[in-house]
Amino acid sequence: MSQYDVCVIGSGPGGYVSAIRCAQLGLKTVVVEREKLGGVCLNIGCIPSKAMIGAAHTLHRIQHDAAEMGIEIKGDVKVNMKKLKNWKQSVCDRMSGGVEGLLKGNDVEVVSGEAEFVSPTELKVSGSSNTKSIKAKNFIVATGSRPIEIPGFEFDEKTVMSSTGALALEKIPKSMLVIGGGYIGLEIGSYIAKLGTDVEILEAADALLKGVVEKDVAQVVGRKLKKDGVKVHLKSKAQSYKKSGQALEVTAEVAGSEKKFKAEKILVTVGRRPNSDQTGIKEIGLEVDERGFIKTDSQRRTNHSHIFAIGDIACQPMLAHKASHEGILVAEVIAGHNRAYDAKTVPAVMFTDPEIASAGMLESEAREKGYNDLKISKFPFAANGKAVAMMETDGFVKMIADAKTNVVLGVHIVGPEASNLISEAALAIEMGATLEDIALTIHPHPTLGETMMEAAEATLGHAVHIIQKKK
């Protein structure tokens, strides 16, 4: 039996980051991982999906924008799915290998196998060839989440797929029905459509991304989906499916009426559930809420004070960067530092087309919290020189501020490189910046980043590069 200061269960973006920070702080640390280092994010989630989305975007640009730019391509542009899949895997392997090197370089021990608590202070790890017992003064549970299955649509990853299967396709399907119009469904649906698949999306709500992003932000993505030939069916719930010849026939309720859809593949993306039914979590008495999240305090400490939980298994939002932040926080708490989770905002990014990114409050959230007097304005990418030069002018930067103080409450971006632009907004909100702070900061030209400055000026009522009504 081995004894450690800290045992981290799971090596995703929360677990491996936490383990490295623990080791940096002088704590004898071990990581237990049942699959590949880097977890879901690096191997079957964030990284592979962005690789495939990037490749599909490149193809789309070649097919639709190159000729207008004066770039003439002779012959058909084809996709070699086997090579694309191998390239995607090389990206994942490089990232996972990088994690292995970082852990080794920081003297973190790695144990492969399935972990299970046998007591609050001991872990049994079942590997392919042996079983190992681990005792630790502290445990960090970072075991993540998995896709939700719906009755009648159990995953086989061949015909009925989760995001995992959709990112490992051997060939481009002729058609795909996506059940769930959340960000995962829209990301994968968009990339598959760009490769040439006929895509239809069933969304139970009466609008895409309802309550998740601003309505006008979602509308931009909806219009682009339509332009790209993706059909979206709102108020739609899949009920069952059966094989019909070479296709799959799905029966769904659409706006109160029964309707049938045929597709070669079915992708189910209705959300993710925390893995709190694994690892012996409930058996050792860790408290779990009604949604399956392990209950924690502001230091991510559970009801067993020496056991911490971070990432998807701890609480919303289920985002990799939130998990990494918590991982560092917990490592420093264990080392005796005075830390607690007190982030004002966790920025969110969706790699749709165009991209969506947000930080801070939605307009509805601001009003619910008592901000009844707001300043709200938008600056369009169509008025930005860099966006015009890139031929990516869909979308805008939207800013929400308290009219009494001009403090920025929320920033919502839909457009090119939204994922990169949102970090400035997150910093602004975290530090309590005002509209003037952003507007008076000189931004380099010509860049997409200028849209942040211009959006602040627009919200103050004196934008230069768009015409506004005089106030």
**Active site positions, annotated:** 445
For the four alpha carbons of 151, 157, 158 and 162, in that order, the dihedral sign comes to positive
Q: Residue 434 has what DSSP assignment? A: B
What distance separates the 2 farthest-apart alpha carbons in the chain?
75
If one counts every other C-beta atom within 10 angstroms of the C-beta of residue 166, the result is 26
Q: Which two tokens stand for residue 374?
A: 């707001």
Residues 201, 149: Cα–Cα separation, whole Å: 17
The strands making up 265-268's β-sheet, listed across from edge to edge, are: 160-161, 265-268, 175-179, 198-202, 231-233
If one counts every other C-beta atom within 10 angstroms of the C-beta of residue 386, the result is 17
**Strand pairing partners for 124?**
116, 133
Closest C-alpha among 168, 145, 201 to residue 322: 145
Q: Which two tokens stand for residue 354?
A: 């165009």
Residues 32, 16: Cα–Cα separation, whole Å: 10
CB 136 within 8 A of CB 3: yes
Phi, psi of 201 (to 5 degrees): -120, 130
What residue spans of 108-239 are helical by DSSP H? Answer: 163-166, 183-194, 215-227
